[in-house]
Amino acid sequence: MIVIFDWDGTLCDSIDHIVDAMRDTAAELSLESPPEEEIRNIVGLGLPEALARLFPRLDDADITSVAAAYSRHFSSPDRAPSRLFDGAMDTLLALRARGLELGVATGKSRKGLDRVLAGLGLSEFFEATRCADETHSKPHPRMLHEIMTVRSKSVDEVLVIGDSEYDLEMASNAGVRSVGVSFGVHDSERLAAHQPMAIVDTLPQLLDLTVLRR
């Protein structure tokens, strides 16, 4: 089995970082800054898709410029580096010790994910990763299909863990099981609408799920 995690808001405590970078981007480009709740709501989508929702009056060329500014603000050395949620690393190591493969499917860019994995010393840790700029954005299932192909997994051998309805809808679209985490961008009620097999309040609680006991 492979356990495929979302990144921002699921493994990585980076939501405030995203909100601040988006606000700084809007200020730099003299755009009206969306409310925090709207920014949080797009976390998990690919950046072009997220920006199109936040700034619907912009054309494709403008979105490209905004995306470049956002990426610069997000990766600024003046910002504190992103960190994993409490219990995340111990949970990943415990899953690995049970013989489970680990993956990441994220709305981040490949450059962004590689940068944060390198910073955390996890560049070679996951068996497979997919990013929104190299395939379809969530909730399209292609990220999962590509990981399943690379790792030779059937739909019964995949479990998706995510904090947003985009993660769980992607899993549903791919015909695989999912688990929601309640501490990210979307509340438990929104997650429950996509029929995950469970919703956990902390990452270590994943270890108690029957499906992950080996």
Structure confidence by residue, pLDDT tens digits, 57-114: 898 889 999 999 999 999 887 777 779 999 999 999 999 999 999 999 999 999 999 9
- pLDDT above 70 covers a percentage of the chain that reads 100
Distance CA 92, CA 59 (A): 41
At 26 the pLDDT is 94
Q: Is 99 exposed, middle or buried (0-12, 13-18, 19+ CB in 10 A)?
A: exposed
Scored b (16 or more CB within 10 A) or e, 141-167 reads: bbbbbbbbeebebeeeebbbbbbbbbb
Cβ-based neighbours of 35, under 8 Å, separated by 6 or more: none
Res 79: pLDDT:
74
Asked if pLDDT for residue 173 goes beyond 80, the answer is yes
Q: Are 58 and 110 in contact (CB under 8 A)?
A: no
Q: Which residue has the tokens 């990766």?
A: 75
Second-level CATH architecture of 2-13+84-212: 3-Layer(aba) Sandwich (3.40)
Query: Could you give the percent of the chain with pLDDT greater than 90?
Result: 93
Residue 43, pLDDT score: 94
pLDDT (tens digit per residue) in 104-145 = 999 999 999 999 999 899 999 999 999 999 999 999 999 999
SS3 128: strand
pLDDT at 4: 98
Q: Give the chain's mean pLDDT.
A: 94
CB 102 within 8 Å of CB 118: no
Q: What is the CATH number of domain 15-74?
A: 1.10.150
* pLDDT reading at 54 higher than 90: yes
The answer to whether the peptide bond before residue 139 is cis (omega within 30 degrees of 0) is yes
Task: Locate the domains of the chain by residue range.
Answer: 2-13+84-212, 15-74
